[in-house]
A and B are shown apart, each in its own frame.
Chain A
């Protein structure tokens, strides 16, 4: 499954570039669509007559002229919500396919799953407040579906029998379409709480492209009302939004009880996924108080906000100490790569850094590097366990060292390797946007460019380079290795 996702990513990379690939920023794209919906929704609400009698008329007057601003706005709101549903589902599928549903990601997964019904309920109310034939059908079908729940007293569908809908009930529709999206924004905030530097806006190219696309669609295929609601007559043939209203045909084809059971089963299965773990969680980062000076670089670089700074228990007031929240730690080791104490040039008797990974401490990395260089392996490749496999490069002259994430590598190791006799150093990480831990290649590139601490000193001989290649792209890595720098 992961291989297919990467293959698709690479196809999209070819068209959009790795950084602007929309598949790698589906969550951010969903946020963009939410902002577009909020903006267009606020304008539409300002122009909407919020009475049952006037709603249809006001919306139709707004969007009567094809190509008008009102028509574009209405189309943008409708197609934006369709796109939101689609992008959200793709985001869910992608994260599942990549195995991002358990362990330290469980919170994001669970809140994400719960966002789905909330997003659906937020969206469906939009059809009701238009109060045309489609809105009439959807409101009644939803009421009938809710009536299948055993704990409701009087049937909700009785509100739609004859003589029109009361303004009071219509106010409830408005609340559903305004109140639930507000709740949705809050839930989205909760969804990204356990990741740092959450991308709530996609790259500019993707944002401009998507907005332009939706506007063009709104102008090319304007959204039209299907006649005012009339409770004395049942809607017959409807132009139908299958992306948002698929539930109604499902209930019609089966039963309300079946649809509830199916929904409950799907939600339960999705919510239970974090309990299924393919492999045990690796050990988490460990702080050594004696070597931690509380600089906060690890906390700044941690992609999952797993590190906080607390007062150092043994040093003077004001000095801080990193503290790892074990349930949030991804075991990526980016923190160890960010720690200034991880420099291999240290001459302390025991090389212990401020924060380190028990399964692969920096002292072990230095030893492997020293042993490899001593054995005559002069071309050093630092790689990533989740990217192109550097162990496939093994040759008498090549020393391949794979890390949990490329940013687990303290940049001073590049200088150290060159000073210890390496003829060349290659730092290989995943393609941009394809990092298993979100920010690894980004941080590593910045450290090597000298724009992020800890940085590689500018005086280091230019016998090093970077290769960004995903898992399965070993040939690309090999090709880069064979190309003279």
Chain B
């Protein structure tokens, strides 16, 4: 009798272990993105312009340099932070100033930001500034329809004309 009880006890405990694993390996479902939503991903890797524009070396400066380092232009390393603003239907949903990377602030500015927005038709305006001053050098204004769960990537590619939406 005691043996039977032990076997039943084992079966129950093994069963509970299996139940725990079986249930929490699948359930409850996780709503990674709410229904009726799309995703905007704002991301770029872009070097801002130099803080000081390149200029020719003076003859005196050139003379001070070792012969192998005499280049025509003197360029400071530091770069300008890159600023981006994204408006959705007139309201700003993302605004960020990306600092240049590197100890000398001479690397690329990088951005990655994800924001969920309602699916449907939207007017999207993107402004990007990569030079000194307050004016945005690049602007993209477009109206498009976002399907549910669609991922729209806002990137920057100077070779493709600047701000890209894919």
**Which A residue sits closest to B29, measured CB to CB?**
A237
B45 at the interface (CB under 8 A from A): yes
- With a cutoff of 8 Å between Cβ atoms, the chain B residues found around residue A83 in the complex are 17, 21
A237 x B112 contact (CB < 8 A): no
Q: How far is the CA of A209 from the CA of B41 in the complex (A)?
A: 48
Q: CB within 8 Å of A: which of B68-119?
A: 101, 107-108, 110-112, 114
- With a cutoff of 8 Å between Cβ atoms, the chain B residues found around residue A154 in the complex are 45, 108, 110
B101 x A153 contact (CB < 8 A): yes
B31 at the interface (CB under 8 A from A): yes
A86 x B31 contact (CB < 8 A): no
Q: CB within 8 Å of B: which of A319-367?
A: none
**Which A residue sits closest to B114, measured CB to CB?**
A144
B149 at the interface (CB under 8 A from A): yes
B10 x A16 contact (CB < 8 A): yes
B35 at the interface (CB under 8 A from A): yes
B9 x A15 contact (CB < 8 A): yes
Q: Please tell me which stretch of B59-67, B120-128, B134-142, B150-158 contacts chain A, meaning at least 4 of its Cβ atoms lie within 8 angstroms of it.
A: B150-158
A157 x B25 contact (CB < 8 A): no
B22 x A79 contact (CB < 8 A): yes
- With a cutoff of 8 Å between Cβ atoms, the chain B residues found around residue A386 in the complex are none
- With a cutoff of 8 Å between Cβ atoms, the chain A residues found around residue B150 in the complex are 232-234
Interface of A is mostly: helix
- A79 CB, min distance to chain B CBs, angstroms: 6
B13 at the interface (CB under 8 A from A): yes
- With a cutoff of 8 Å between Cβ atoms, the chain A residues found around residue B41 in the complex are 161
A436 at the interface (CB under 8 A from B): no
Q: How far is the CA of A210 from the CA of B114 in the complex (A)?
A: 42
- A62 CB, min distance to chain B CBs, angstroms: 19
B58 at the interface (CB under 8 A from A): no
- With a cutoff of 8 Å between Cβ atoms, the chain A residues found around residue B25 in the complex are 78-79, 82, 221, 223, 241-243
B25-52 vs A, Cβ < 8 Å mask (1 yes, 0 no) = 1111111111100110101010000000
B32 x A217 contact (CB < 8 A): no
- With a cutoff of 8 Å between Cβ atoms, the chain B residues found around residue A12 in the complex are 13
A249 x B18 contact (CB < 8 A): no
A235 x B151 contact (CB < 8 A): no
B18 x A240 contact (CB < 8 A): no
| Contact among A158, A223, A231, A236 for B33, CB-based, below 8 A | A236
A213 at the interface (CB under 8 A from B): yes
- With a cutoff of 8 Å between Cβ atoms, the chain B residues found around residue A221 in the complex are 22, 25-26
Known A216-B18, A231-B151: A236·B6 in contact at CB below 8 Å = no
Q: How far is the CA of A162 from the CA of B18 in the complex (A)?
A: 39
Q: Mind listing 5 A-B residue pairs with CB under 8 Å?
A: A158-B43, A210-B14, A236-B31, A240-B27, A241-B26
Which residues does B use to contact A, with CB under 8 Å?
5-6, 9-10, 12-14, 17-18, 20-22, 24-35, 38-39, 41, 43, 45, 101, 107-108, 110-112, 114, 148-151, 153, 155, 166
